[in-house]
Structure 1
Amino acid sequence: MTTALYLEHYLDSLEHLPIELQRNFTLMRDLDARAQGLMKDIDKLADDYLKNLKKESPEKKKEQLTHIQNLFNKAKEYGDDKVQLAIQTYELVDKHIRRLDSDLARFEAEIQDKALNSSRAQEESNASKKGRKKLKEKEKRKKGAAGTTSEDESKTARKKQKKAGAVGSGAQVESTALGHPADVLDMPVDPNEPTYCLCHQVSYGEMIGCDNPDCPIEWFHFACVGLTTKPKGKWYCPKCTQDRKKK
């Protein structure tokens, strides 16, 4: 139940309360006025009785005392009615106070339940977001690993292709001597063709690979590194040889 409904229902229950309270207070004032009037009459009769105590006959005295006693009894009835009416008025107001306390307790319980449910929903939403984030990160890692593997495979394939090209070029050089590298350098370079060596040209003639696995160039033309035949053992390019000497 919303706050507006609680307030509306409570105000509906209070609709007749002012009228009932006004009626009870009016009756209590009336009873009090009657009791006060009787007490004045009793005081006057008591004074007359005391003044004429020696003059009146016993029957007259008894009659006056009985009348005074009846007036006292009537005043007591008015007082009892007034007290009873005051108790009813108190209980009437107390009933509405108890209802207000009950509605407030229920309203606070509902607010706490809503806050708890909202907190749980927020936690579930955060957990779901974290789960989706972890899943995305896992997928990214898988894609990254797959891309790295593919890149490594591509590098291996290119290296094999280079070696095959170098072997083929070597066979050609053996049958036609060294060829004419100057003629090759004058030829236009295809932008999609990979370049090698210190001259940054495409593969041609016989080539040799540097035995340093971290060599940035890898393959070199025989003529560019001053070779006419393939040397025995491991061979390092001029740059890698200089770096090894520094170490």
Structure 2
Amino acid sequence: MSRLVSTGVDGLDAILGGGITPQSTVLVSGNPGTGKSLLGIQYLYTGVREFDERGVYISFEEDAEDIRAAAESIGFESFDEYVDDGRIVVLDKRQLLGDGDLSETIDRILETVGDGGFDRLVLDSLSMFKLFFENEREERTYLLKFSDILKENGLTSLLINEQGAVFPDTEIGLENFLTDGNVYLIQTPTDSGVNRYLWVAKMRKQDIDTDIYPLEIDEGGLVVHDQAGGFTMMDNSETPF
């Protein structure tokens, strides 16, 4: 097997057996505030810093300035430099939602991806992207084509998906069929704030650890405590919920 693609998250790569299979498309789901966008930023930042791999960040929800600020908030001070010199290309909501036309938006994304030379991509979020489609048939057609184009261009991609529920919504939706892996970020309220967890539910062609592990977000980004003892999804009495 080719070298696995590192996520850049301590502990997550260990759970995945080293990283993500190249040219895979992975769904990253969770409710607001779980750290999904920060995971995407960390994924691209690691690609440039450690592997000289260029990345594309597609955001339907934030301006480029907001994304830079988020990167800075977790200590990724070189993110600005990587954007300025083109090692990370950001397409933000002002560029993508300006005219509200699906064809124009898709063309802009494909033009950027088709220029080549990119290794990693983050789409934030798939939930907003799907609002362009008028029905499930159109959604299926475009998402299938989009997923194929990402792979054809050699991209290993994270597709961020918003959920309303605190506990992972494991209902099998269209996006689950189109992706090679499913990663859930979970947070539960406590008296002093929130506890965060990460669960890798699926990863095709890989032997993975499917327990739930504690997650922290701090200076330096996301850290998964893979040695902390997983909470199995097979026995609800052992879950933190």
Larger radius of gyration: 1
Q: Comparing both structures, which one devotes a greater share of its residues to helix?
A: 1
TM-based fold match above 0.5: no
TM-score norm. by structure 1 comes to: 0.17
Higher relative CO (Cα under 8 Å, sequence separation at least 6) belongs to 2
Normalization by structure 2: what TM-score?
A: 0.17
